[in-house]
Chains A and B, each alone.
Chain A
């Protein structure tokens, strides 16, 4: 027995296994560096190209006509308005639907169907959502509008909020619910006063993640809100948004426009990354406490 163990330690078989192990480990490390390298590369170039164009005029001036300088004020304002409206429309529906899945119908047949469909919506191509809103809002109304853009974004918000609300409510211990029920609290009150409060941070995280998701969405806005060269707060008219302006400006041959596109791209990325970092720290603070 002792002989065979010594033999196996030096055998070609064992050496081969060790070599394969080392190669696999090396490849794994290389793959990780490769993956992280893209993040560094993309953010680095974005900073380099975007920061040059960053000045006060970006926030105070309108998008310029071709060949002249200007800012992104109307695009930023349009994005803000549509994002806020989308969150106002999408969050209540999302939270309520998530509540149903976690509280009333946790083991329902309906819930498993809704859960499945919601997961599909969560990763459905956003351009298809744009087509859908075009068909039901833009075509019947006869014109592109800020409302259509906001509703398209809301459709993207809903599945994100449904998912996180359900997940977070499921994490609330059942003993809390039982305690509430035992003192005679009706279910609705138990949910609103106990379960929501316990899951608060998680639900807010879901909403923040949804905002992060829609603030960079371009495809669903292309043919719902369209774009607008001027300041417009009229929700019934085409409305500018930062992503669509970036799309238009980046593909243009004008240098000033391309520069503004990079600056806009930097603004969006910083917003999105900040939102997701805040969202993450909210949940991790909750977990550790």
Chain B
């Protein structure tokens, strides 16, 4: 760019007769323009580098903050269930377990439902309704998590406690594995409720990404499949899904990243108990809920540091999941574009 400008100015100076003062003011103007260009380029570059600095800053700050706890407890921090602020003995097993279990419940529900909604929106829904329904689903994604939390605590948890959980407990009482998973008493709050609320929160993410990905399938492919007599479902199952598989999985991972890190909605309904229980109805805790509940009340460096170490673990897990998600979505983009 800079070279181009110089050429232009030289041509102008050669091609026309200009007085010395005009030429001087022209070159002054050009110089100023070039300077502002350089400054602006530098500014935008610095801003771009700030984004990198932010992420490295997050990692460095967490590592430094977590160092005392990880140094004290070593590897046993990851496998210890104890969480005792009085004796200052901390282990991350219960929060890690709770985070994984609630996210798994969420994905088990949100993935099939989200896929079917996306199938409906891209293949079945009448054109007039597509935009409004799409917007409504995206609005669901925009509702702040604290709203899901307060709603979960006052409306959803009591409902589950009175109607759903007793039913599950009674039904599966004599079924071997399931009787452990759905063992009473029905508290209302607990990992099951948290997982369900996470499912509602993740659903719009899974749906809107799947829909975008399905929309990217070249129409020719679908038309060809219809042409040989496939049903709508067969086109979806054997043409659209295989073609978009990478992107769809990327979308799932993005939703999973959200479920893993979700804080407020879970904090309200998880019960904050540092126990690893086989029953899904038992109160538990997740990494983010532990931090949200305890951080301001944490007394002592080791307690604070243990909570930051939890944050570091969460960041590491979500980083891996999100990085994988982005990589997969990028691969699909390359193939389509």
Seen from chain A, the residues whose Cβ lies within 8 Å of a Cβ on chain B are 17-18, 20-21, 24-25, 27-32, 34-36, 38-39, 42, 45-46, 49, 92-97, 99-101, 103-105, 110-111, 113-114, 116-121, 123-129, 131-132, 134-136, 155, 158-159, 162, 181, 184, 186-189, 191-192, 212, 215-219, 222-223, 226, 243, 246-247, 250-251, 258, 261-262, 265, 268-269, 272-273, 276-277, 280
Contact = CB atoms under 8 A, between A and B. Distances in A.
B5 interface: yes
A77 B50 CA distance: 30
B323 interface: yes
A177 B335 CA distance: 28
A125 B260 contact: yes
Interface stretch (B14-22, B61-69, B82-90, B277-285): B61-69
Contacts, number: 272
Contacts of B136: 36, 39
B234 A21 contact: yes
Given A28-B119, A97-B51, A132 B150 contact: no
A280 B135 contact: yes
Given A99-B44, A129-B58, A184-B5, A35 B140 contact: yes
A251 B268 contact: yes
A113 B58 CA distance: 17
Contacts of B96: none
B334 interface: no
Interface centre among A17, A125, A132 (most CB of B within 10 A): A125
Contacts of B257: 123
Contacts of B155: 45
Interface of B: 1, 4-5, 8, 33-34, 36-37, 39-41, 43-52, 54-55, 57-58, 61-62, 64-65, 112-114, 116-117, 119-121, 123-125, 133, 135-140, 142-151, 153-155, 200, 203-204, 207, 231-234, 236-237, 254, 257-258, 260-264, 267-268, 288, 291-292, 295-296, 307-308, 311, 314-315, 318-319, 322-323, 326
